[in-house]
């Protein structure tokens, strides 16, 4: 019974470690104060979503950090926050504490939010999704409620907080230590000298080899010489072959000089994929270029409510395709945002993408045919 209990505690600890929220989470939140008005704005092409980024530093079940809320030139705010996670249910509560930076138009007041989120993980993608309530910082009146969607990402649209920078340094030091350990494991065996000496004192094994060599040198010497003379010719031709690939593989500078952030990996059994790309918000002259496997397929195209369409073919011969979206400009309202709708067979995926002049967005497609068992 004690062994079973110990096993359960160990498993529980493993689950807790796997739910480390430390890092950068980015997405959006949307008000749901008046569903009819929200639906009308959506039909008119208006977007009432606010961009939302959270940077978290978790210790055990609790965490602290900062939040960024922003919507075009209407509002920008930064606040400190704290929260907790329940390892058993993976439910997360995040509470904004104090607004430290704010810029907004009009006579509106700033509000702070309390978020109730659910953590989930599919493959390498980690998601926080749920609802929020908000309160006016001046009179404590309600500012309304709504929905929140966040995805864990490797880089910030602003700058990394000191606690994240310190975490990265600690992780780099751990990696260096882990790389040095294999070198110290292999040590010379002092008994090797004694074990090797018996092998040297075996003249009986060596003599048959010399006698066999003398017998074969009577006639087969010439064929062996001709064989060795042919080999250099084949080696020379092989050496000249690798001169061509560096000329054929040319990586565009915009992919080489900018950071390429993996946004989503889609695994599908469909041999054909249709990708439609829209402006994800206000039409503000966002312009993009798109590369498929480092080859340009869309060049400086303006994002609108009408889709830019790309067709991708997948099969067992080309089961990995990499799509990179490059921001040619940030439009009138930074950053460059887009909505990618992917149709793969009878399934549809929505990918919300943010790209800047320092960072490209990458979407990977993997082909996995259905088993015919």
69 to 38, 132, 136: CA distances (angstroms):
19, 13, 15
Cβ 313 vs Cβ 272: under 8 Å: yes
Q: What is the pLDDT of residue 88?
A: 92
User: Residue 254 pLDDT more than 60?
Assistant: yes
CA distance 373 to 369: 12
User: Residue 318 pLDDT more than 70?
Assistant: yes
224 to 123, 230, 235, 301: CA distances (angstroms):
56, 10, 17, 65
Mean pLDDT computed over 294-316: 89
Mean pLDDT computed over 255-281: 88
Domain architecture of the chain: domains with CATH: 2-165 (2.40.128), 253-367 (2.60.60)
Cβ 135 vs Cβ 142: under 8 Å: yes
User: Residue 343 pLDDT more than 70?
Assistant: yes
The more confident residue out of 363 and 219 is 363
Q: Determine which of 24-33, 215-224, 267-276, 346-355 has the lowest per-residue pLDDT on average.
A: 215-224
User: Residue 251 pLDDT more than 90?
Assistant: no
369 to 11, 269, 314, 319, 373: CA distances (angstroms):
34, 4, 10, 9, 12
User: Residue 330 pLDDT more than 80?
Assistant: no
For the entire predicted model, the pTM comes to 0.47
Q: What would the pLDDT profile of 32-77 be if each residue is shown by its tens digit?
A: 866 555 555 555 445 678 899 999 999 999 999 999 998 876 788 9
Q: What is the pLDDT of residue 34?
A: 60
Helical segments of the chain, H only: 2-18, 35-43, 162-185, 192-200, 203-216, 221-240, 245-248, 253-257
The more confident residue out of 108 and 59 is 59
Other CB atoms within a 10 A radius of the CB of residue 238 amount to 8
pLDDT, mean over the chain: 77
User: Residue 22 pLDDT more than 90?
Assistant: yes
């Amino acid at each position: 019974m004690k062994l079973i209990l110990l096993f359960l505690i160990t498993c529980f600890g493993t689950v807790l470690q796997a739910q480390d929220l430390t890092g950068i989470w980015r997405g959006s939140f949307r008000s749901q104060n008046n569903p009819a008005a929200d639906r009308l704005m959506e039909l008119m092409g208006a977007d009432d979503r606010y961009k939302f980024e959270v940077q978290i530093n978790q210790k055990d079940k609790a965490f602290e950090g900062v939040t960024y809320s922003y919507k075009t030139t209407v509002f920008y705010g930064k606040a400190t926050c704290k929260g907790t996670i329940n390892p058993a249910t993976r439910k997360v509560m995040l509470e904004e504490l104090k607004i430290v930076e704010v810029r907004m138009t009009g006579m509106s007041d700033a509000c702070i939010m309390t978020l109730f989120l659910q953590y989930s993980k599919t493959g390498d993608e980690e998601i926080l999704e749920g609802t929020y309530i908000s309160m006016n910082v001046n009179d404590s009146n309600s500012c309304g409620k709504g929905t929140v969607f966040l995805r864990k990402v490797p880089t910030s649209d602003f700058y990394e907080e000191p606690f994240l920078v310190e975490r990265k340094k600690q992780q780099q030091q751990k990696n260096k230590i882990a790389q040095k350990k294999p070198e110290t494991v292999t040590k010379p065996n002092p008994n090797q000298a004694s074990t090797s000496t018996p092998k040297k004192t075996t003249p009986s094994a060596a003599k048959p080899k010399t006698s066999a060599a003398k017998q074969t040198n009577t006639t087969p010497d010439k064929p062996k010489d001709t064989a060795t003379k042919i080999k250099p010719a084949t080696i020379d031709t092989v050496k000249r072959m690798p001169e061509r690939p560096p000329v054929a593989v040319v990586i565009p500078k915009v992919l080489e000089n900018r950071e390429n952030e993996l946004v989503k990996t889609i695994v599908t059994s469909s041999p054909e994929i249709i990708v439609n790309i829209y402006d994800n918000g206000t039409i503000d002259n966002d312009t993009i270029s798109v590369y498929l496997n480092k080859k340009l397929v869309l060049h400086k195209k303006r994002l609108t409510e009408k889709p830019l369409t790309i067709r991708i073919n997948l099969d067992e011969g080309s089961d990995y395709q990499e799509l990179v979206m490059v921001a040619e400009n940030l439009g009138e309202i930074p950053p460059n945002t887009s909505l990618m709708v992917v149709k793969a067979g009878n399934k549809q995926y929505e990918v919300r993408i943010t790209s800047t002049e320092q960072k490209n967005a990458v979407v990977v497609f993997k082909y996995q045919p259905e088993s015919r068992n």
